[in-house]
Chain A
Amino acid sequence: MITVNGRPHPVDVEPRVTLADFLRDSLRLTGTHLGCEHGVCGACTVLLDGEAVRSCLVFAVQAEGHEVRTVEGMSGEGRPSPLQLAFERRRAFQCGFCTPGFLATGQALLDSGRTLSRENLPELLAGNICRCTGYAPIIDALLDVVDPGR
């Protein structure tokens, strides 16, 4: 069994099926996007046991017995997460393709307890590619969550 957004699911797929494809095709959780499918673009980033990982580089069978959190699991009771609200407020997306990956990476950074700043965020976000925003509003959105009163 694999726990996705708090719900257990049997892993009834071939070993060669990636976690990303399992989420999208078997569970129909299509919020997780697949861009490059070889670990470069970061669009498929999800939280595996709370850590940000590329779900195209993990086979679903490897996640057996582990907990996965996807973009669908970020809102609670229909209410967007503080990071999702900040993304909306800051217009931190245009086409939206990279957004689920940025939300997973961003949530992992926020949950890690490390100090996030305008100085270190460009480097910390370098594992996710966005071709629309120029990254500035994404950084602003994260900083809004770090310091809501700023």
Chain B
Amino acid sequence: MKAAPFAYHRPRSLDEALDLLAEHGGDAKALAGGQSLVPLLALRLAQPAVIVDLAEVPELKQRTGGRVGAMVTNAALERDPAGLPPPAVAALPHIGHFQVRNRGTLGGSLAHLDPAAEWPALALLLDARLTLRSRDRGERTLTPAEFIRGPLTTALEPDELLTSVAFPDWPADGRWGFAEVARRPGDFALAGAACTVLDGRRRVVVFAAGRLPQLLAEGDPIAVNGDLHAGAAYRLAIAGRLVEKVLAEAGERP
């Protein structure tokens, strides 16, 4: 339960951080709030030779309206949710326990891409834009579908950082719902669902139920996995109920 040895760097600027990643590539791992990576290090599921701690990279903590720097903590977003769409604001109290939100970041959650986490599902639902940057290839902006490659897998190259996430403006007449089921408040959900209704168009996402968060088109079956926390039949049942619930919250007939 102790991490393997690693070299530690704490860059003071984005350029310095990107230099370090360009230099060390696949041997390096970027450390955001540490609430997912440090357990992996402790369990030795991850053994990077180099850790690049992003805690003191000021560019990654900037926020302008709906554009949020990757290193903004969930606690900071909870304290000041200005610019976040309402489903994201509703999800924040469910993202870990408050002690975890004090350290955990928006970008860290997305880069880790746990299928049970709220941020990947919210990014899909809200059609956020993710900005990635590397020293040698500069900046690129991806849709959530382009960014999410698999469970715990993203489009991030070894020398690349997720620098910010842009959420679209929320229209005054937008409707939405958010709900999840967890055995203990703050634990990973056994299943979750969220929806938006914008210009009469419905968008529904289910998360924590299957191998990835799933945008659900009309008539799509919900893909579920069973594991030791909940069986597939139970997950399917509660995910279906949660979809009905969030649609009802948005004033829609399921």
Contacts and interface: CB of A to CB of B under 8 A. Distances in A.
Interface in B1-23: 1-8, 10
B7 A15 contact: yes
Interface in B202-244: none
B36 to A, nearest CB: 9
B184 A126 contact: yes
B42 A56 contact: yes
A51 B39 CA distance: 20
Contacts of B41: 16
Contacts of B158: none
Contact of B6 (A16, A39, A42, A51): A16
A59 B34 CA distance: 9
Nearest to A42: B99
Give the bracket for the number of chain B residues in contact with chain A: 20 to 34
Contacts of B102: 48, 51-53
A61 B52 CA distance: 12
A37 to B, nearest CB: 4
A39 B39 contact: yes
Contact of A54 (B3, B8, B99): B99
A39 B51 contact: no
A1 interface: no
Report the contact-size class of chain A (Cβ under 8 Å from the partner): 20 to 34
Contact of B43 (A38, A62, A124): A38
A105 interface: yes
A57 B34 contact: yes
Chain A interface, DSSP helix/strand/loop, else mixed? mixed
A62 B97 contact: no
A147 interface: no
Given A16-B3, A62-B34, A127 B99 contact: yes
Contact of A57 (B1, B38, B51, B98): B38
A21 B2 CA distance: 10
Interface in A86-112: 105, 108
Interface in B90-148: 96-100, 102-103
B2 A127 contact: no
Most chain A CB within 10 A, of B5, B10, B42, B186, is at B42
Interface string B22-48: 000000000000110011011100000
Nearest to A58: B34
Given A15-B8, A126-B184, A39 B100 contact: yes
B55 interface: yes
B35 A62 contact: no
Closest 8 CB pairs of A and B: A127-B97, A15-B8, A38-B39, A37-B1, A16-B3, A57-B38, A126-B185, A51-B102
A144 B130 CA distance: 47
